Amino acid sequence: MPRVFSGIQPTGNLHLGNYLGAIRNWVLMQQGNECLYCIVDLHAITVRQEPQALSASTREVTACLIAAGIDTRASILFNQSQVAGHAELAWIFNCVARLGWLNRMTQFKEKAGKDRENASVGLYAYPNLMAADILVYRATHVPVGEDQKQHLELARDIAQSFNHQYGVEFFPLVEPVITGPATRVMSLRDGTAKMSKSDASDYSRINMTDSPDAIAQKIRKARTDPHPLPGDPAALAERPEAANLVNIYAALSNSDAAAVLSAFDGAPFSRFKEKLAELATQVIAPMTGEMRRLLADQGYIDAVLRDGAGRARSLAEPILREVHRIVGFVQG
């Protein structure tokens, strides 16, 4: 069975982009694959996190994933810091990856911004840890949103370089799985920026914990243009905000932009937004309810993570032993 790995940061404000771009595909990929889903808390601390908020967010993401349909018996759900092998392999990859490769990573440039000298070393080396997350299990398929494509290309370069340097065929070349009409959900305030947890404006995103009223209000206030909806997706090329809302509708209704536009050809945004808010609430509200129920039992959430981490460790240990042998570390 193909082995799938993917991760999500417990950095608060889990949003519709995370759900449509990643989580929903994680649920679907449970059919016919061996899946590991990881809450990447080591990645989260590459920027400053309040300890209590980090713990709360880790449990909240866990609850959201279970509520979305991750089956914790079939799949392995755990938080990264409980499996030390991720950090260990990341160190080895720090010694494989070249500075020049990391210098090209656009996410570092975006996140470090102008204050590059003050960014943490961890933020810079983030893609090496991400490569280790996947390869410590020799996973081959990684469902992600568009924004992670460059990091996965780096994971392939690292695997190839390790194999070449040590003359082995040990690490597989990972395949990104980027599917669906919403691989890059954009901000509700700016159709050219991606919907993001760290956007200062809460109106830029629909959070997985938003109430139906909040969802409706955010969609009503979402930026659009003065024209009615066209009948053909090609006419959305220069209308990023309209295209974003249509793609969100398509993803939430399991259809595509062409089908959505044929149903709303000529409709004003007021009508379309009303329908979109109903649809978004229909999909999100049951998950939010289930998340709340799960979060009331912290012991259960922690037990799920402990069990997942134990199973993840048993998969990683023999692979790490082999890595030690390949690299030449003496194993007493």
Q: Where do contacts with ligand AQP occur on this chain (CB under 6 A)? A: 7-9, 11, 17-18, 21-22, 144-145, 147-148, 183-185, 194-198
Residues 80/7, Cβ–Cβ less than 8 Å: yes
Task: Give the Cα separation of 295 and 299 in Å (integer).
Answer: 9
Q: What are phi and psi of 51, to 5 degrees?
A: -50, -45
Q: Give the three-state DSSP class for 323.
A: helix
Of 48 and 73, the one with the shorter C-beta distance to ligand AQP is 48
149 is catalytic: no
Residue appearing with tokens 């990447």: 40
Helices (H) and strands (E) in the chain, counts: 14, 5
109, 114, 149, 197: which is the annotated catalytic residue?
Answer: 197
111 is catalytic: yes
Handedness of CA 64, 70, 71, 72 (dihedral sign): negative
- Considering only CA atoms, which of 41, 46, 44, 48 is closest in space to residue 81? 41
221 is catalytic: no
CA trace torsion 269, 271, 275, 281 (10° rounding):
70
- What are the residues facing 37 on neighbouring strands? 6, 77
109, 194, 221, 273: which is the annotated catalytic residue?
Answer: 194
- Cβ at position 169, least distance to ligand AQP in Å: 28
Of 228 and 240, the one with the shorter C-beta distance to ligand AQP is 240
Please tell me the number of Cα atoms within 13 Å of 15 on its side-chain side: 26
Of 160 and 198, the one with the shorter C-beta distance to ligand AQP is 198
Of 17 and 233, the one with the shorter C-beta distance to ligand AQP is 17
Catalytically active residues, by annotation: 111, 194, 197
